[in-house]
């Protein structure tokens, strides 16, 4: 089979072609190339800058690329307790092991922590996944948060102009106190477009950013964030484990 991408235009970067075949993201494809796992016409490729055409035969780990499928995008309501990964050395269950059989190989658009539930996008197109993850795409995230401790709306208003943690400037966050019960509070938070020199607000999928958020919470005398639900663009959501 000729490279598995007959509909691809001529002269494309090999990492992009591999990503579009649904095997991985473009960044992962570049790492595979650097590791010597990719061959073109039987010869190992040394540079991710290599251009290929539909006449080239591309193989990863000795297996030719699969026939390119049409791009598909799934909405998946991730339940708590599943890892956003294809495999886990510790044997923990993953979202991909929980998906029905017969689906194409899918890639997650971003990640959600193992104890976080919410909307997660899955696609068979690595290039699309990369585009959707870029801050320039402009998708704003919305979270529902249960936090341990107490917080007031006045404290939450301090997040509106953005925050600086360890020298990194994060963009504005709009947070609304929904209710308080015992030692817990429930919040709804969403990102707003960052200003000049700012990066996007800390996200639930980044373990390092979770530590930053916790540190900031302690500095403000606020609660420790514990649980988040994430949405991307849609307010509705399906049942846990449901895909669309």
Give the catalytic positions in this structure. 113
Q: How open is the CA angle 130-105-115, to the nearest 5 degrees? A: 70
Q: Rounded to the nearest 5°, which phi and psi values hold at 190? A: -145, 150
H-helix or E-strand spanning residue 108: strand 107-108
Three-state SS for 87-145 is CCCCCCCEHHHHCCCCCCCCEECCCCCCCCEEEEEEECCHHHHHHHHCHHHCCCEEEEE
Query: For residue 209, with 0-12 CB atoms within 10 Å meaning exposed, 13-18 middle and 19 or more buried, which class applies?
Result: middle
Nearest alpha carbon to residue 118 among 179, 205, 187:
205
Describe the crossing of helices 126-133 and 26-34 by its angle, rounded to 10 degrees. 120
Q: Is 56 helix (H, G, I), strand (E, B) or coil?
A: coil
Q: 117-123 and 224-232 as β-strands: parallel, antiparallel, unpaired?
A: parallel
User: What sign does the CA torsion over 204, 208, 209, 214 have?
Assistant: positive
Rounded CA separation 140/171 (Å): 11
The answer to whether the CB of 240 falls within 8 A of the CB of 229 is: no
């Amino acid at each position: 089979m000729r490279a598995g991408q007959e509909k691809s235009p001529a002269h494309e970067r090999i990492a992009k072609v591999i990503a579009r075949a649904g095997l991985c993201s473009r960044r992962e494809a570049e790492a595979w190339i650097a590791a010597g796992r990719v061959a073109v016409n039987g010869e190992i490729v040394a540079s991710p800058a290599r251009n290929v055409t539909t006449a080239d035969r591309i193989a990863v780990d000795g297996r030719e690329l699969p026939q390119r499928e049409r791009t598909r995008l799934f909405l998946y309501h991730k339940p708590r307790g599943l890892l956003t990964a294809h495999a886990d050395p510790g044997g923990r269950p993953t979202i991909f092991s929980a998906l029905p059989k017969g689906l194409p190989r899918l890639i997650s658009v971003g990640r959600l922590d193992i104890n976080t539930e919410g909307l997660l996008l899955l696609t068979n197109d690595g290039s699309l996944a990369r585009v959707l993850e870029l801050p320039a795409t402009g998708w704003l995230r919305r979270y529902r948060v249960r936090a341990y401790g107490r917080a007031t709306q006045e404290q939450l208003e301090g997040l509106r102009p953005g925050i600086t943690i360890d020298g990194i400037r994060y963009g504005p966050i709009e947070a609304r106190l929904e209710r308080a019960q015992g030692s817990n509070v429930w919040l709804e938070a969403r990102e707003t477009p960052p200003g000049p020199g700012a990066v996007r607000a800390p996200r639930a999928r980044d373990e390092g950013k979770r530590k930053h958020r916790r540190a900031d919470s302690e500095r403000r005398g606020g609660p420790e964030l514990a649980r988040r639900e994430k949405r991307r663009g849609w307010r509705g959501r399906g049942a846990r484990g449901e895909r669309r």
